[in-house]
A = this chain, B = another copy of it.
Amino acid sequence: MSGRIDARLAQLAVELPAPPVPVAAYVPYVQTGNLVFISGQVSFLGDDDSSAGKVGADLTPEQGQQAARNSALNSLAHLKNACGGDLDRVKRCVGLRIYVASAPDFTGQPAVGNGASELVVEIFGDAGKHSRAAVGVTALPLNCAVEVESVWEID
C-alpha cells in the first residue's frame, strides 16, 4: 500500500510543485503532536504569477478557483515534506482557511475556495474532508489572489 497517495496523484495527473520558499521570516510548517500547521500559501506556482489581483475585479471567479487550487498545491508540497516524503501518513485534513483578495462587492468566496477543497478531497478521499472558512480580504502578499492556510493530522 506504500505510495497510495503518490499513485492517486499520478492517476489525477496532479504534479506537486517545488515547495515555495517562505517570502519572510517564518518556516513552511510546524508539527506539534500529530498536527501539522502549514503556513499560508500564495497562489503563484513557481515563476507563474498570473493569479495576481483581486477576484471580482482583475480575475474572474473561475480564475480565482484556479488560484485556490494553486495555493492548495503549494500546501501539499510542504505537507509532503512534513511527512518525510510519504503522503500516505496523512490521516485527515483538519481544516483549510481560504483568504480571497476580493473586490468590495465580490461574495463568491465559497466557489473560489472549492478550487482548493475539491483537489484535497479528490486526492485523499474521506481523509480529505475538512472544515473550512473562506473570507474576502483587502489584499494579499505579493498581490496574489488567494492564500490558503491548513492544518493536517498525520501519523
Interface footprint category on A? 35 or more
Partner of A104, one of B40, B131, B136, B139: B139
Tell whether, in the assembled complex, residue A30 and residue B129 are in contact, meaning their CB atoms are under 8 Å apart.
yes
- Complex formed: what's the CA distance from A131 to B143 in Å? 20
The verdict on A40 contacting B132 (CB below 8 Å), with A30-B92, A30-B94 known, is yes
- Complex formed: what's the CA distance from A130 to B37 in Å? 9
Question: Is A153 an interface position by the 8 A CB rule?
Answer: yes
Tell whether, in the assembled complex, residue A24 and residue B114 are in contact, meaning their CB atoms are under 8 Å apart.
yes
Q: Using CB atoms and an 8 Å cutoff, list the residues of chain A in contact with chain B.
A: 22-30, 32-35, 37-40, 92-97, 99, 101-111, 113-114, 117-118, 121, 129-143, 147, 149, 151, 153
